[in-house]
Structure 1
Amino acid sequence: MDRRSFLRLGAAAPVCLGASGAAVLARAQTQSEDALLATQGWRVYEVTTELSLPPAAAPASAWLPMTAARLGDYQRTLSSRWEAADAQARTALAPGYDTRMLALSWPGPAAAQSAELKAKLVEMVALRDRKTDLGLAPSAQAPREPAATLREYLAPTRLLPTGGIVKTTAQQITAGASDDMSKARALYEWVIDHTCREASVRGCGVGDVARMLRTGGVMNGKCVDINGLFVALARASGIPARDAFGVRVDTSLYGFKALGKSGDISKAQHCRAEFYAAGYGWIPVDPADVRKVALEEAPGGLPMSDWKVRSARAMLFGAWEMNWVAYNHGHDVALPGSASPPVPFLMYPNGETVAGTLDSVDPAAFGYRITSRRMA
C-alpha cells in the first residue's frame, strides 16, 4: 500500500469487522498530508506494533498503547489501522488522562485455536521539534489550560504522592524561589544532581517516588523514576506537571547517540516530563535524558562537566527533540476487561493469557515487536 492510499484509508469510516476478523480503525485527519508537510519542520513516521501469541495462550487479552491524536503544535496522528484475525478488537479510552489503547481479546478455548493469535497496529504520526523560548516574557497569548485540567495534573497518583517526604523535599529544594518558573528550574537541577541512571533497572523503571526519596543520597533509576520524581516534586510545589509516556522512533539529529533509536524500537520506550507555567503553557523537560547522556553517550560514561552533558542539560529544560512519539500522560491505568489492578502507566503492550500476566518489558517473551520508519 502506498503512502497516499494509506492516508486516504485513515480518513475512512471508523471500524469495519469482516468475516476474517480483520479490523480497520481510522482516526479523522485534521489536516491533509500536503498541508501538514508544507509547514516547517514536520516529519512523518510509520509506527507498527505486531503481536503474536501461541494458540495455547487462549483465552487471552492484550492492550496496545496508541499514539496521542494531537499534542500542541508538535504531534499529529494522521491515521491508524489494525488487523486482528480471530480477535475481538476495539479502541478504548481509560478514565482520566485521555489514555488510548487498542483492546484485543481471543476468547478461546485454547483447543479451538488452530493458529497463532496475531494482531498488528499501524499508525502514521507527524512530529516536529518542540521548544519554548524562555527568554521571552510571559504572554497573554500563550496556550491556556482549563482550571479542571490543571487540578488533575496537581493530584497525587499511587506512585507519585505529593505529601509526606515528597512535600518536605520539594519545600527544601524550592526555598527562596519566588515563582513557578524558578521553582521548576530548581527542581530540574536538583533532580539531575541527585539521581543516577542505573543500567540494571528493567525497562524504564517503576516510578516509586517516595521509595526513591527514602533511600537518601544518589537515587538510581531510569526515565520513569527520574522524570517521575520531577513531576511529583513539581506537583507538591503547586506546579501542574505530567509525565509523557512514549517511544523513540528515530536517531538524534542533534548528535546524541544515546537519545535515539530507529528500526526495531521494541525496547526504545521513553518517559518525558513537562510542567505548566502561566504565560508559557506546557514546558518540556527531560532530566532523565541528561543522565542517559552522562551514562551512555561514550564508553565508560561522561562526567557531568563534559560539554555534551552540559549541552543536553541546557537543551532539555524547555525543549524536546521530536524523534520520539507520545502515547499518553496516564497514571493508574485501568485496562478494560482485565481483572487485574490498574497498571501504573501504559507505555508497553500489556497482556494476559490462560497462563497469567505477560512480561511487558520483555518483547521476545511476550511476543511483540515495535518498528518505526521515517516516510520519504
Structure 2
Amino acid sequence: MTNSISRRHFTRSAAASLLAAGGLPALHAQEAERRFDPQPSDWRRFEVTTTVQLKGERGDAKVWVPVPSLDTPWQRTVESHWSGSTTDIRAASDGRTGAKVLVASFPAASVDPTLVLTDIVETQNRAVDWKARAPAADRADLHQWLEPSELIPVDGIVKKVATQIVLGARSDREKAQRIYDWVIVSTYREPKVKGCGTGDIKAMLESGNMSGKCADINALFVGLCRAAGVPARDIYGVRLVPSAFGYRELGGNPASLKGAQHCRAEVYLQGNGWVAMDPADVTKVMRQETPVWIKNAGDPLVAPVRKALFGGWEGNWMGYNSASDVKLPGAKQAKLGFFMYPQAETAAGAKDPYDPDSFVYQITARELRA
C-alpha cells in the first residue's frame, strides 16, 4: 500500500474479500452453526497469579509487573497482594497514563530473584445495548483518546486512509463500522509474529504489510478511528480461561497463560458511551481456529464472532490498562509502546518479555466460585 492508493482500490478490495465465494471447507463444515453471543451476565471472580523468577541471575535486578488498573462496568479489581525475595517491593503508577505497576528491586547478593503478584478481579461479558442511552463523557477525557501516541499517529498516511474509508459516513457509529470491516478484510493474523506484535501502524500502511497480531491490528483500528474523529483506545490484558462458546482461539489455558496476552479496543459513540471492539480476534479465528486458513470474512464459523465483537466481548479476559508511551519507574530502557507484559532489567540488560521461558515468568488463573 502506498500514499497514492485510491478509495476505489479500498472499496474493491473490501468487496472482493467480503464476497469471496467458495464452498465451506470440509474440515469445519460441522462448525457452521457455532454461536458466539457474549451477552452481559453475572460477575465472574478470578485469582490471577504472575510469578517472575530470574533463574541463574546474580547482581542488581529490577522487575516490573502490570497491575489491573481498570474500574469499569465490566471489570473491577477486588484486591492485589504480593511477595518476593526482596523487601524492596512497591506499587506505583505511571503519572501520565495512570497505569499501575508493581516494582521490585533486587540487590547484588540476590540469587534467582523472585516476585509473585496475585490479583483478585471480577469480570463480565459485555455487549452494547444500541437502543439504550448512555450519559455523556467528559470532553477533556475524550480529547485524550483522539490524540496520537508514538506508535499510533493520526496524521499522514493514517489520516489519508481513514478519510477514504469513512467518506460519506453519516455518524460515528457508521465510521466505526466501516473501519472495523475494512480492518478485518484488509489485514490478516500472522502467527509467526512475536508476542502481540509491535503496534507500528504507520509502518504497516506504508509498507503494505498488513499482517500482525492484536497489538498491530487493533492499534490500526484505534488509529484509523482517531484519525476519523472518533475517540478510541486499546485495552491491554490477558485471556484467563477457555471461551464458553467453544472457540479454542478465543480463550486461555488457566494453568499456563504464557502467550495469552491480548489487547482489545473501545470506541466512544455519542449516546452509547464506550463500546467494545475487537477486529483482531476476528482475524485470529479466520487464521487459526481451524487447520484451514479461512479467507472469507463471511464464513459461517467467522460470522458470529465478527458480529458480536462489534459492540461486545466475552468476560474470560482481564484488562490491565489503556496506557501508551509508558515510562517504567527506574527503568533504563526507553518508553514502552504499551504495557501488558512483565519487564525486567539485569546487569546483562533488559529481558525479552516475549520470551517467558528465558525471562522466566508464568501467569496462571483460577476461577473462584461464590
Q: Note if contact 1:49-1:122 (Cα within 8 Å) is conserved in structure 2.
A: yes
Give the C-alpha shift of residue 339 in structure 1: 2.2
Q: Note if contact 2:41-2:125 (Cα within 8 Å) is conserved in structure 1.
A: no
Cα shift readout 1:189-231 (whole Å, capped 9, x = no counterpart): 0000100000110000000000001123x61000000000000
Aligned to 1:95: 95
Q: Note if contact 1:157-1:332 (Cα within 8 Å) is conserved in structure 2.
A: yes
Alpha-carbon distance in structure 2 between the residues aligned to 1:107 and 1:151 = 43
Aligned to 1:119: 115
Q: In structure 2, do the counterparts of structure 1 residues 330 and 132 end up closer, same or farther at CA, with 3 Å as the change threshold?
A: same
1:25-174 map, 5 Å: 40-54=41-55, 56-71=57-72, 73-108=73-108, 112-113=109-110, 115-134=111-130, 136=131, 139=133, 142-174=134-166
Letter matched to residue 48 of structure 1: T
Runs (4+) of structure 1 exceeding 4 A deviation are none
Aligned to 1:4: none
Q: In structure 2, do the counterparts of structure 1 residues 133 and 40 end up closer, same or farther at CA, with 3 Å as the change threshold?
A: closer
Counterpart of 1:245 in 2: which secondary structure? strand
Q: Note if contact 2:97-2:326 (Cα within 8 Å) is conserved in structure 1.
A: no
Query: 1:186 is matched with which residue: 165, 178, 182?
Result: 178
Aligned to 2:249: 258
Tell me which moved more, 80-89 or 281-290.
80-89
Alpha-carbon distance in structure 2 between the residues aligned to 1:50 and 1:211 = 34
Q: Note if contact 1:223-1:272 (Cα within 8 Å) is conserved in structure 2.
A: yes
Tell me which moved more, 253-262 or 156-165.
253-262
- TM (norm. structure 1) is 0.85
Alpha-carbon distance in structure 2 between the residues aligned to 1:258 and 1:69 = 24
Q: Note if contact 1:52-1:119 (Cα within 8 Å) is conserved in structure 2.
A: yes
Letter matched to residue 245 of structure 2: Y
Cα shift readout 1:75-112 (whole Å, capped 9, x = no counterpart): 1111110002224111111123321110111132xxx2
- TM (norm. structure 2) is 0.86
Letter matched to residue 85 of structure 1: S
Alpha-carbon distance in structure 2 between the residues aligned to 1:145 and 1:191 = 27
Counterpart of 1:339 in 2: which secondary structure? coil
Alpha-carbon distance in structure 2 between the residues aligned to 1:103 and 1:128 = 29
Alpha-carbon distance in structure 2 between the residues aligned to 1:55 and 1:88 = 20
The CA RMSD measured in Å over matched residues stands at 1.4
Letter matched to residue 67 of structure 1: P
Alpha-carbon distance in structure 2 between the residues aligned to 1:291 and 1:245 = 18
Query: 2:290 is matched with which residue: 295, 298, 316?
Result: 298
Give the C-alpha shift of residue 297 in structure 1: 0.9
Cα shift readout 1:252-277 (whole Å, capped 9, x = no counterpart): 01221110012211210001001001
| Bigger RCO of structures 1 and 2 (CA < 8 A, at least 6 apart) | 2
Alpha-carbon distance in structure 1 between the residues aligned to 2:182 and 2:351 = 36
Query: 1:370 is matched with which residue: 358, 363, 368?
Result: 363
Using the aligned pairs only, state the percent identity. Answer: 43
1:301-320 map, 5 Å: 301-304=293-296, 305-320=298-313
Q: Does 1:248 align with 2:239?
A: yes
Aligned to 1:352: 345
Give the C-alpha shift of residue 53 in structure 1: 1.2
Cα shift readout 1:221-252 (whole Å, capped 9, x = no counterpart): 00000000000001111111000000000100
Query: 1:325 is matched with which residue: 318, 321, 325?
Result: 318
Letter matched to residue 74 of structure 2: Y
Letter matched to residue 356 of structure 1: G
Letter matched to residue 230 of structure 2: I
Letter matched to residue 188 of structure 1: Y
Give the C-alpha shift of residue 69 in structure 1: 4.1
Q: How many residue pairs end up in the alignment?
A: 328
* Stretches of structure 2 lacking an aligned partner (at least 5 in a row): 1-39
Counterpart of 1:47 in 2: which secondary structure? strand
Counterpart of 1:184 in 2: which secondary structure? helix
Query: 1:288 is matched with which residue: 256, 280, 286?
Result: 280
* Stretches of structure 1 lacking an aligned partner (at least 5 in a row): 1-38
Give the C-alpha shift of residue 143 in structure 1: 3.6
Q: Note if contact 2:70-2:319 (Cα within 8 Å) is conserved in structure 1.
A: no
